[in-house]
Amino acid sequence: MIVSRRWLEALLDRPLDGRETAERLTMHVAPVDAVVPLHQDLGDVVVARVLEVNKHPNADRLTLCLVDAGSAGGPVQVVCGARNVQAGKSYPYAPVGALLPGGVRLERKPIRGVESNGMLCSAKELGLGDDHAGILELDTAAPPGSRFVDVVPVADHQIVIDVPANRPDLLGHKGVARELAALLGATVKLPIIPTPTGGTARAGGDAALGGPRGAPSRRGGGTATAAVVDGVAVRLDDPEGAPRYMIAVIRGVKVGASPGWLAQRLAAIGQRPINNVVDATNYVLFEVNQPLHAFDLARLRRTRRS
């Protein structure tokens, strides 16, 4: 099981040291096979605000950006090949002399006859993803010159736990956090689920099939193996193999990219963010060890008609 140090910190509401946490878990809970540092090599990258974007005099696909990186010498000029950079917005900036992932050290050099001082960075150049088409735009009010890793919580540790067969509670961050809470005298604090105040999504109903709290079946006795939820018929074909199955219908969901914090949490444990719906189910699985799956209702209906 791979757990994220930052994820555990959020549940315990206190800072943790990766190596020390691994030692505590090994001594009192379960063996830790590895502690893998993540994105600890971004210490030279800072937040910068682009003041101006102008055309490069010698290249149609390049621009000249005047960048405020909070340095004493004032704004610097950076040659950039991405089309998404806009004046007034903030981006990660690697100054001259910075060491980037992969061992690349930046130098001041001319690009198509114009000197470039450092580089505005894409997610791929920072080792944070595969997107290199555009510079990574930062949604932050941090002043220019702030360390990138202090503003964007990507520096982390993967703690790889060898979970024994009799400890399934350790297959989620909540279970690991509870063990650490007992050792540290802390309290596990699951995030509050906010009540929707806007948007178009709505819960159309829910039901529980099987299990000790299932409703009486229509045949009398036992527990329900079928239900209709917001007009959707659901049947439990294997109540012995799945003794409890809970269903909810949510309408009006718009599939899109996950918020940054959610994508970062999943990436920190080696999961690839996909979209907001799939990522939400994976987040629940890895936090509370509760399998969850989302189905496209329209596709389920088409399958049934066929």
Rounded Cα distance, 149 and 139, in Å = 14
- Structural domains of the chain, count: 3
**Domain housing 210:** 202-305
What pLDDT score does 12 carry?
97
Q: Which CATH number belongs to the domain containing residue 53 in this structure?
A: 2.40.50.140
What pLDDT score does 58 carry?
93
Residue 126 lies in a domain: yes
Tell whether 52 and 143 lie within a shared domain: yes
What pLDDT score does 225 carry?
83
Spans of the chain, pLDDT less than 70:
131-133, 195-206, 211-223, 301-306
Rounded Cα distance, 150 and 136, in Å = 16
Tell whether 76 and 169 lie within a shared domain: no
Query: Could you tell me the end-to-end alpha-carbon distance of the chain, in angstroms, rounded to an integer?
Result: 40
Taking only the tens place, the pLDDT of each residue in 258-300 is 988 899 899 999 999 999 999 999 999 999 999 999 999 888 7
Residue 168 lies in a domain: yes
What pLDDT score does 223 carry?
66
What pLDDT score does 204 carry?
64
What pLDDT score does 198 carry?
61
